[in-house]
Chain A
Amino acid sequence: MATRRAMTAQPWWWAGASLTLLTACTPGGAGARGPAASDAEPVVVPTVAGPIAYADGVYVGPRVTNLRGGYQAQVTISGGIITAVDPVEAGTQDPESLQVNSFAVPELARRVIQAQSADVDYVSGSSFTSPAFLESIAGALDVAEAHA
């Protein structure tokens, strides 16, 4: 499976007990995030761009992976401001991951249900922005800024 294979490719510096291995965190990781990514959902990015100068163009951010797969954003700058943030990739995985294994799960009840409205206290959903997507946007903006 794609995610698991990617994990084994990672250095094994964080297997087992956390304390000793955590101190081995490599410097430079997680850095280089553009200020536009701070605390903001993509739709807010244009308003927090502030004094940062961006060169016009279409920038594809780095591919950032997390458990849900790869995320990659494309940011369009026009007239110096961000006019669009689009997903190039959003959570897809390598083709191997499509080989859903046929592990039997007999406990599951199968049914077909219809979407409809209901009076409920709250709705549980997954529609909120992935941090990995934000990270890719930040990378694209870094490039746009460098070109300005």
Chain B
Amino acid sequence: MWPRLTREGATGSTGRGALRGNCGRGLRGRAPAHSHASASGAGVTTASRHAARRYTTRAVASVVSIPTYCATVHAMAMPFTVQVRLPPSQRAATAAVDQLHRDLIWADEVFSLFKEDSQLSRLNRGELAIDECEPEVLEVLQTCEWYRSHTLGAFDARRSDHLDPTGIVKGWAVARAVDALDQLRAAAWMVGAAGDVLVSGEGHVWTLGIADPRVSGDPSAGPVIDVVALGGKRRALATSGVAHHGRHIWDPATGEGAQHYLQVSVVGPDLVTADAWATAIAAGGDQVLAAALDAGLDVLVVTRDHGNGSFSTEASTGWPSVRH
């Protein structure tokens, strides 16, 4: 049996119509989202200060004030966006995000395939045995095996000459790092990890967009094709696609991608699960999608681009769209 990677999912109320935080897309769009370049220090952006100022403006408009702390940190060559609703203090929130950042950097130092001296790189070169690595290395690789067997082989960390668990390392590292946010005892938190999302599950219903698969680059700036609510047992959302490098994999005549789906989004109880299934469905198509539905996940697949901004999609009946 594979080890549990995430804490028990919180199952709080998921009432609709909750107030939007200050880090909503409309306001956040122009917020400074840079982090300190230092790789060792846990740099946090000053976005929270700006957010607090914006919040004042917002509070006047919305009467009820709910401060939200926002920060973006970089690790694994990816941006991680953190939002914390009702933190006990800004200082506590900053410290928690610093800790989260340190944990992500640690995971990168252990698992990066682009760092020659990471434990995974040394394991792949035969310089380290598995029992000489951090115990987390075995844990992650065992998890890869679990997903390989449960996704009909579509999710596979094995390469011809090395192991590449990259597909789940991000979700695993986030699941581990959000301990720091849980200990904050804030009302709720959300972590956006380079296009995938994990939320605290209780205290707030987060509204998340599904990116337009035609748009490359940072999806936060582009249009969305669907809006979903995340909260309660639905804690994670991951999206995989094939459209992000070069248009030749996109057939403009038919509007269809060269692969099974143009984009796959999966909502699940944790980020490792959602990410692994999204990747597996994108790679394996209908059969893997059926297995995902059997496993109780909610899935939205984009099957066709009509070329005028509209898309054909197929969604599981439980897909938590707020657009009808």
Main secondary structure of the interface of A (DSSP, over half): loop
Task: Count A-B contacts at CB 8 Å.
Answer: 296
B310 touches which of A16, A110, A112 (Cβ 8 Å): A112
The answer for the CA separation of A102 and B278 in the assembled complex, in Å, is 19
Report the minimal beta-carbon distance from A6 to chain B, rounded to whole angstroms. Answer: 9
Interface size on B, residues (CB 8 A): 112
Q: Are B216 and A127 in contact (CB under 8 A)?
A: yes
Given contacts A112-B306, A117-B223, A123-B210, contact A90 B285 (CB under 8 A): no
Given contacts A101-B287, A120-B224, contact A29 B124 (CB under 8 A): yes
The answer for the CA separation of A23 and B214 in the assembled complex, in Å, is 42
With a cutoff of 8 Å between Cβ atoms, the chain A residues found around residue B120 in the complex are 30
With a cutoff of 8 Å between Cβ atoms, the chain B residues found around residue A26 in the complex are 126, 161-162
What residue of chain A has the Cβ atom nearest to residue B25's Cβ? A120
Contact with A along B45-83 (1 / 0, CB 8 A): 000000000000000000000000000000001100101
Q: Are B225 and A115 in contact (CB under 8 A)?
A: yes
What residue of chain A has the Cβ atom nearest to residue B195's Cβ? A125
Does B295 sit at the interface, judged by CB under 8 A? no
A124 touches which of B196, B248, B284 (Cβ 8 Å): B196
Main secondary structure of the interface of B (DSSP, over half): mixed
Q: Which 7 A-B pairs have the closest CB atoms?
A: A125-B211, A125-B219, A90-B245, A29-B162, A29-B161, A126-B241, A27-B126
Contact with A along B210-249 (1 / 0, CB 8 A): 1111111111101111110000000001111111111011
Report A1-37 residues with CB < 8 Å from chain B CB: 1, 3-4, 7, 10-11, 14, 16, 18-19, 22-23, 25-31, 33, 37
Given contacts A109-B317, A109-B319, contact A22 B130 (CB under 8 A): yes
What residue of chain B has the Cβ atom nearest to residue A7's Cβ? B156
The answer for the CA separation of A133 and B244 in the assembled complex, in Å, is 11
> Residues on A close to B: CB < 8 A?
1, 3-4, 7, 10-11, 14, 16, 18-19, 22-23, 25-31, 33, 37-41, 65-69, 71, 86-87, 89-93, 97-98, 100-103, 105, 107-131, 133-135, 138
Does B159 sit at the interface, judged by CB under 8 A? yes
What residue of chain A has the Cβ atom nearest to residue B170's Cβ? A128
Report the minimal beta-carbon distance from B265 to chain A, rounded to whole angstroms. Answer: 6
Q: Are A67 and B279 in contact (CB under 8 A)?
A: yes
Q: Which of B21, B25, B216 has the most CB of A within 10 A?
A: B25
Q: Which of the 9-residue segments B87-95, B111-119, B176-184 touches chain A?
A: B111-119
* Sample of 19 A–B contacts (CB below 8 Å): A4-B153, A4-B154, A31-B125, A67-B282, A71-B245, A87-B246, A90-B249, A103-B290, A108-B314, A109-B315, A114-B309, A114-B311, A123-B211, A124-B239, A125-B211, A126-B244, A126-B263, A127-B211, A127-B215
